[in-house]
Structure 1
Amino acid sequence: MMQVLSIKSGATTKEQCLSSGKLMILTGPSGVGKGTLMRTLLQRHPELYYSVSATTRAPRSGESDGINYYFVSRTRFEQLVANGEFLEWAEFAGNYYGTPRQPVLEKVNSGKTVLLEIELDGARQVRTSFPQAISIFILPPSLGELEKRIRSRNQDSEDAIARRLILAQDEIKAADEFDIQIVNDDFETALCSLEKAIFG
């Protein structure tokens, strides 16, 4: 498991001057529909490279290791952080999430468009290392609709839902930091806006 993270690598000046490919950052509050947008986008455009993140959270129903996430223990994750093997990492809702550095650098340098679906703290880290990255924030039409979507997943306790909604309010305040903002009200409209942001 997690073999792609076996290479030790620290930050290099290469990260500051990547030019052959394109790096796209996608973020937004939990439940806003980032995952669904991403899956549909990749089905339509298989030439895009989706960077699989590592996480310490347990797999959800239907998720596969190495496809949706690399599922690792907290101890292993902390070892990877210490070895400098993440492009970015953050703690979210009690779990760690991180982007393996090496695959992203290799794909961007080979001319690929790389998509990162990450949390706000991680997005800020990547934008610091890659100021030329295009950052996209997905917004819900309202907090009420966001709560409805989170509840419809049937994956969180009441306490977890409350924490996610409080966090979402803070995250939404940061939307202006991003290059592009897309409201996921109508799915097809949001998807078309996302395609335009990536290919336009």
Structure 2
Amino acid sequence: MPDPAPGDRPRPSRLTVLAGPTAVGKGTVSADVRARYPQVWVSVSATTRPPRPGEVDGVHYRFVDDATFDQMIADGGLLEWAVVHGRYRYGTPREPVRKALAKGRPALLEIDLQGARQVRRTMPDALFVFLAPPSWEELVRRLVGRGTEDPEERERRLATARVELAAESEFDVTVVNDDVHRATDELISHMGLQPVPVAPG
């Protein structure tokens, strides 16, 4: 059977990288993308941290132990990885990203600042989007209101957030997460897709 003509093959898509400070709502925005824009392939990061209440393995993260994560690094199976907040490791499995882009699907990575910098070195043609809070006070309110960290962990994350906010100029565009659906639709527009109004109710 002959190969498809060049015009019939799917064109590789451009990768979009979404990053921003802790508690800004990266996970919430990427979940909204997953729910409302099924044509977008959303990467699932691997992490050594334990699941938070309501998180599902393979949907929100791939929860792995340290030995498994070490093996993924050794095998070259991660596009990027980093130690976040000085405790747990997070990384992006490489092969699912490659396959999604090769099929022509719009692909989204939701990662931290360290990971975004690594991806820029290996995939400089990607679109880098910085998700910003409406204000520092709102970021603190969201982190405290989440209630998933003890006071020591909260202070560690806020210290990290100050550093992360200072890196905004490294990104191609900034999206302010003042409203999840609005921020999602702005992100989708930057990805070259047509936003879809949220159904009432």
Query: Of residues 101, 105, 123 in structure 1, which corresponds to 2:94?
Result: 101
AA matched with 2:25: G
1:122 aligns with 2:121: no
What residue is the counterpart of 1:112 in the other structure?
105
What residue is the counterpart of 2:6 in the other structure?
none
Query: Of residues 138, 142, 147 in structure 1, which corresponds to 2:131?
Result: 138
Superposed, 1:185-196 pairs within 5 Å as 185-196=178-189
1:38 aligns with 2:33: no
Q: 4+ residue stretches of structure 1 with deviation over 4 A?
A: none
What residue is the counterpart of 1:161 in the other structure?
154
**Higher mean C-alpha displacement, 186-195 vs 79-88:** 186-195
For residue 188 of structure 1, report the CA deviation from its aligned partner: 3.5
Distance in 1 (alpha carbons) for counterparts of 2:184 and 2:94:
27
- Structure 1 or 2, whichever has the larger Rg, is 2
What residue is the counterpart of 2:172 in the other structure?
179
Give ranges in structure 1 of 5+ residues lacking alignment: 1-18
Distance in 2 (alpha carbons) for counterparts of 1:188 and 1:82:
39
What residue is the counterpart of 2:16 in the other structure?
24
1:87 aligns with 2:79: yes
Q: How many pairs were matched up?
A: 182
Per the normalisation by structure 2, the TM-score is 0.87
What residue is the counterpart of 2:44 in the other structure?
52
For residue 74 of structure 1, report the CA deviation from its aligned partner: 1.1
Give ranges in structure 2 of 5+ residues lacking alignment: 1-10, 194-201
Q: Provide the secondary structure at the position in 2 that maps to 1:152.
A: helix
Q: Provide the secondary structure at the position in 1 that maps to 2:191.
A: helix
Query: Of residues 48, 53, 61 in structure 1, which corresponds to 2:53?
Result: 61
AA matched with 2:70: E
**Alpha carbons of structure 1 residues 188 and 47: separation in structure 2 relative to 1, 3 Å:** closer
For residue 77 of structure 1, report the CA deviation from its aligned partner: 0.6
For residue 91 of structure 1, report the CA deviation from its aligned partner: 0.5
**Higher mean C-alpha displacement, 50-59 vs 182-191:** 182-191
